[in-house]
Chain A
Amino acid sequence: MVKETSPLEIERNVGNFAYPETHTHDAGVGLSEKTIHYIADIKEDPDWVREFRLNAYKTFMSKPMPTHWASKDLEAIVFDNIRYYLSGGVQPKRNWEDVPDDVKRTFERLGIPEQERKFLAGVEAQFDSEAVYSNIKKAVGEQGVIFVGSREGLKDHPEIFRKWFGKVIPTGDNKFSALNSAVFSGGSFIYVPPGVKVKHPLQAYFRINAENFGQFERTLIICDEGAELTYMEGCTAPKFNTATLHSAVVELVALKGAKIQYITVQNWSSNVFNLVTKRGLAHEDAEVKWIDCNIGSRLTMKYPGVIMKGRRARGEVLSIALAGDGQHQDTGAKMVHAADETTSNIISKSISIGEGRATYRGLVQIPKHLKNCKNNTECDALLINSTSRTDTYPAITVRGTGNSVQHEASVSQVSAEQIFYMQQRGLTKAQAMSLSVNGFVNDLVRQFPMEYSVELKRLIELEMEGSVG
């Protein structure tokens, strides 16, 4: 089943950057049962995983596109033109020295500084569909923390992996979670034992480096009772001239009293369809917090959710979306209250530039029989140009009497006077714009870890430079 380097000639737009690809495994274009078997063979999946994939494939085929409520733009995805598996055939590496040079160059170009790597407790970087580099510092490993790729997770730790895999987000949750379940590869598996508080954030960088290649990483994180973890995920993709699909599934499980914080800073190229399902399950006294920054892509549809299953569980989504010209950020949050005294908080800020469009879609559910549940929702939109667009669709369902919800929304615009004022102080128009935008998101960004707020600021600057003529 192992092929040589892809025989397909890929016409690459190297406008940004892309290095020569040497894929020893390539599932070719299109999706069929054969593709599923090919992936399962290459990955030497256990039978239950192959079965899981095949079932998911059937579910995927039977589900309609969600275009009855979502963007028509989804219809532009041609599933037959997508390549569902590519791999360098390289085993995950533990030492930086072993990572191939062209991969290192890519990381350099992405601006991952040497010091940052040292600071971070573990780095798991995904290059195409396999993790080519993964490393956990000794200290974390000694605490019993497992931080590996999803493939190693299901092979080496089946007792934990199988218990939770596909339980927070069932295969049939939506068409794209089904697709991911059928063809997933890469992503992280993390288990933090009871009471262990991981001091430094664990981090993964993702990147797409093959045209028409969908990246379907699958991440499962379990924090056992009283454990704490921060996980950071950063995504940047080089520019390609035809549509690329990214469809990840991320499941978080916070057992009693555990805390998980999951941070994403994404900067996809403007032709990527980014359709991601992210959900956390919070048991009694547990907390799941999503910090989600979406920059770039053609269309992003992502609504991180928390199911508060145990008493006093807490869920939080802090999100920032930046929609540039021709981009649509359809993002939001889902908060499902399923126990008494659960609290959730949603703060969403969006910025629309040029003809960019930002949509907030929120779902908050508090059923009738619950008591003392609270939700707070704030969504603020900033419009840069008169052609920019924003929409808000909050769906808050609160039944019963002992619960409280708050909802606030605002739309503001960067005014010409504000820009002139800043220019008069010596800032260029682009600098003035990015300072305004940074000011708008500032109170939210302050809650981010230092290096991510710096990175986000830099991304906003780059975006604003490009948008000012």
Chain B
Amino acid sequence: MNQLSIEDLRVSIAEQEIIRGLSLTMPKGEVHAIMGPNGSGKSTLAKVIAGHPDYKVISGTIEMDGENIMELEPDERSRKGLFLAFQYPSEIPGVTIANFLRAAVQARLPEGEELEATDYYAKLYEKMDLLEMDRSFTSRSVNEGFSGGEKKRNEILQLAMLQPKYAVLDETDSGLDIDALKVVAHGVNAMRGPDIGILVITHYQRLLDYIIPDHVHVMVQGRIVRSGGKELALELEEKGYERYETADVGEPAMA
């Protein structure tokens, strides 16, 4: 029961089916990677797990620790312990990182309980040090005028502060130079442990040199076409996705 499990998920947007019968199970305590070519539906999967309203779920279920979360609002899913690190994080002009995160942490406390400011800042600074972020970051507006690397670092900072049960990292490596990539990977690795399951979505193998996954899944045309150990990532790097794409993946399995 201690797992994030997706069962025969089918999702469409504007009448087009993007996810076509996808099943995946990620136990807590593990790191899984989903790799796939552009347009395979990886980012759609990430958003659907988080409950993005634009997508239409045709069938299937997503369960967190045995609880079906399909009918929950994105914020309810978040408070139950689901985190999505965005590929393109939104800017929130005028709202500082400190205030935004504080509101997010506060949202997790029981009704009537006030977040202790000194505890909050102590934790915030600790996590920022881990991610080699300057303290002045806290007073900048969320993602406004941030470089690609700063945005991703900010995502991981939020991940570290909110300590979810399950985290989905959507293309966290895109737009990062190698130094930034190492810092981000260091932040994610520091989070690893028995209390969190991490799903890393990526196009390239590069990130997986630094965040070593327990399992790798290959996603093509809206389905998981192959699963294996970490060595699968290396194989993909070498041989590419072509053979999965040209292979007749046919009609969705549960059609």
Q: CB within 8 Å of B: which residues of A?
A: 412, 415-418, 420-429, 431-432, 435-436, 438-443
Contact = CB atoms under 8 A, between A and B. Distances in A.
Interface string B53-70: 110000000000000000
- Kindly name the residue among B91, B103, B108, B141 whose own CB sees the greatest number of chain A CB atoms within 10 A: B103
Interface in B121-175: 141, 158, 162
Contacts of A425: 75, 78, 100-101, 103-104, 107, 158, 162
B90 A439 contact: no
A159 B101 CA distance: 57
B90 A426 contact: no
B75 A426 contact: yes
B162 A439 contact: no
A3 to B, nearest CB: 49
Contacts of B92: 418, 421-422, 435-436, 439
Contacts, number: 83
Contacts of B196: none
Given A424-B77, A424-B84, A431-B103, 8 more contacts: A425-B78, A425-B103, A425-B104, A427-B107, A428-B73, A435-B99, A439-B94, A440-B93
B103 A439 contact: no
A424 B94 contact: no
A438 B53 contact: no
Contact of B75 (A416, A427, A436, A440): A427
B215 interface: no
Contacts of B77: 424
A424 B74 CA distance: 5
B204 interface: no
Q: What 4 pairs across the A-B complex have the smallest Cβ distances?
A: A439-B94, A439-B95, A442-B94, A426-B107
B94 A441 contact: yes
Contact of A426 (B79, B91, B99): B79
A420 B84 CA distance: 11
A420 B91 contact: no
Contacts of B99: 435
A192 B86 CA distance: 57
B243 to A, nearest CB: 35
A427 B162 CA distance: 12
A424 B53 contact: no
Given A423-B73, A427-B104, A429-B75, A418 B94 contact: no
Contact of B78 (A417, A426, A442): A426
Nearest to A432: B75
Contacts of B103: 425, 427, 431, 435
Given A418-B90, A425-B104, A427-B107, A435 B74 contact: no
Given A438-B95, A439-B93, A439-B141, A424 B100 contact: no
Nearest to B52: A420
14 contacts: A415-B90, A416-B53, A416-B54, A417-B90, A418-B90, A420-B74, A424-B50, A424-B51, A424-B86, A425-B104, A425-B158, A431-B75, A436-B95, A439-B92
